[in-house]
Amino acid sequence: MPAPTIAIIGGGPCGLTLACLLERKNIDYVVYERDESENSKLMGGSLDLLPESGQLALREAGLFDEFKKHARYDDTVFTVADKLGEMVVEIGQGRDAPEIDRTELRRLLLAAIPKDKIKWGHTLTSVTVGEDNKSVLHFANGVVLSGFELVVGTDGTWSKVRSKITQATPQYTGKGVVISKIDHDNPLYGITAKKVGAGNYLTIGSGKYTMIQRQGNGSYRVSFGFSAPENFFRNGTKNLQDAENTRNQLLSGFYADWSEKYKDLIRYATDLYTLPLYTLSTEDIGWKSVPGVTLAGDAAHLSFIGGSGVNLALTDSLKLASKIADPGTESLDKAVQEYEADMFPRGISRIAEGHVMEAVMYSEDPQAFIEIMSS
């Protein structure tokens, strides 16, 4: 059996949106995803999709009506406070940037893709070049595949496809996040729900932040962002002993001068895991196009988290699918060249914006963040 025309590496929002768009255009493809099944637990909270980017991609994929059934338009509000817990401003009401849980977005994207077009349990370990000059994909499960006309790396921060195009490597920002949650049965749930309500509650002070974000089921995702050595964040999901040690470090060190309201979040939040933050540099963007391979999303232009990453990723998927399907495009290689020429400025801008967001999120007070959000 001949290989599908296009191999998509990674079944996150970027890869699955690209698959949906190619499906509608009757272009042959297959998605290789490291998760064992569609029911695998996903890390990540809610995503806000903007009308000219994320929403537009879903419209083109024929999924906007389904998206609206699950989009939370009342969660656009942003309450900003200082480290003493005093509210400074409430912004964002009425924005056309509804939230949707990452799990719900995956569900609606998967529903539009034939089950045989996604290969679960396929973790890409390397990409080599075969005698026919096409990419050979090596997976951790021992599977080796080749014959694709195009391999698209939508495999995120540590993309294995990236090395076939550029030597760019993500660099640690010096910052990271401890992520946790407040479920309905948590003793702090009632207080949190009353304080936060809908949307996001962001507190900035002393070079660090906390973010409380309502999820689709009414629970709250709580993030603590601060500067620390890279190895502090390297362990990922914590066991109970590590979680208690992490709490103690947050309480006695990083957040020692914060209000007891925030210390209670540290004491009672559950399911702690750590997320070190990495970025590519603007100088990394602008490589010479390589036949038969390209990148999209974080694999192409990883930047500091700030909300617009998923929108840019879905825009990449839309632009690439459109170039591939354009009857005026001479070949897949030409389509990739045109897509990348269009994507590079977006990626550079996103990384630059990420540096700005990093500076204001990890600042001494929330004023700079408020000015950016209000501009």
The mean per-residue pLDDT over the stretch 330-356 comes to 94
Of 1-5, 354-358, 370-374, the one with minimum mean pLDDT is 1-5
How confident is residue 196, by pLDDT bands cut at 50, 70 and 90?
A: very high
Reported as a single tens digit per residue, the pLDDT across 204-231 is 999 999 999 999 999 999 999 999 999 8
The mean per-residue pLDDT over the stretch 295-314 comes to 90
| Predicted local distance difference test score (pLDDT) of residue 236 | 54
Q: Is the pLDDT of residue 295 over 70?
A: yes
CA separation for the pair 144, 102 (Å, rounded): 30
Of 73-82, 136-145, 241-250, 262-271, the one with minimum mean pLDDT is 241-250
How confident is residue 85, by pLDDT bands cut at 50, 70 and 90?
A: confident
| Predicted local distance difference test score (pLDDT) of residue 238 | 47
The mean per-residue pLDDT over the stretch 20-43 comes to 92
Q: Is the pLDDT of residue 177 over 50?
A: yes
pLDDT above 70: percentage of residues in the chain? 96
| Predicted local distance difference test score (pLDDT) of residue 141 | 97
Reported as a single tens digit per residue, the pLDDT across 40-65 is 876 778 999 999 999 999 999 999 99
Q: Is the pLDDT of residue 2 over 70?
A: no
The mean per-residue pLDDT over the stretch 262-291 comes to 95
By C-alpha distance, which of 272, 281, 274, 273 is closest to 304? 281
Which structure tokens are listed for 236?
């990922």
By C-alpha distance, which of 287, 296, 306 is closest to 351? 306
Q: Is the pLDDT of residue 202 over 80?
A: yes
Q: Which is higher by pLDDT, 96 or 152?
A: 152
How confident is residue 305, by pLDDT bands cut at 50, 70 and 90?
A: confident
Cα 108 to Cα 62, 71, 116, 207, 239: the distances in Å are 11, 12, 16, 38, 32
The mean per-residue pLDDT over the stretch 316-324 comes to 97
| Predicted local distance difference test score (pLDDT) of residue 9 | 98
How confident is residue 327, by pLDDT bands cut at 50, 70 and 90?
A: confident
| Predicted local distance difference test score (pLDDT) of residue 105 | 96
92 and 76 in contact (C-beta within 8 Å)? Answer: yes
| Predicted local distance difference test score (pLDDT) of residue 41 | 74
pLDDT above 90: percentage of residues in the chain? 80
Q: What is the mean pLDDT of the chain?
A: 92
Helix (H), strand (E), coil (C) string for the chain:
CCCCCEEEECCCHHHHHHHHHHHHCCCCEEEECCCCCCCCCCCCCEEECCCCCHHHHHHHCCCHHHHHHHCEHHHHCEEEECCCCCEEEEECCCCCCCEEEHHHHHHHHHCCCCHHHEECCCCEEEEEECCCCCEEEEECCCCEEECCCEEEECCCCCCCCHHHCCCCCCEEEEEEEEEEEECCCCCCHHHHHHHHCCCEEEEEECCEEEEEEECCCCCEEEEEEEECCHHHCCCCECCHHHHHHHHHHHHHHHCCCCCHHHHHHHHHCEEEEEEEEEECCHHHCCCCCCCCEEECCHHHHCCCCCCCHHHHHHHHHHHHHHHHHCCCCCCHHHHHHHHHHHHHHHHHHHHHHHHHHHHHHCCCCCHHHHHHHHC
Q: Is the pLDDT of residue 240 over 60?
A: no
How confident is residue 66, by pLDDT bands cut at 50, 70 and 90?
A: very high
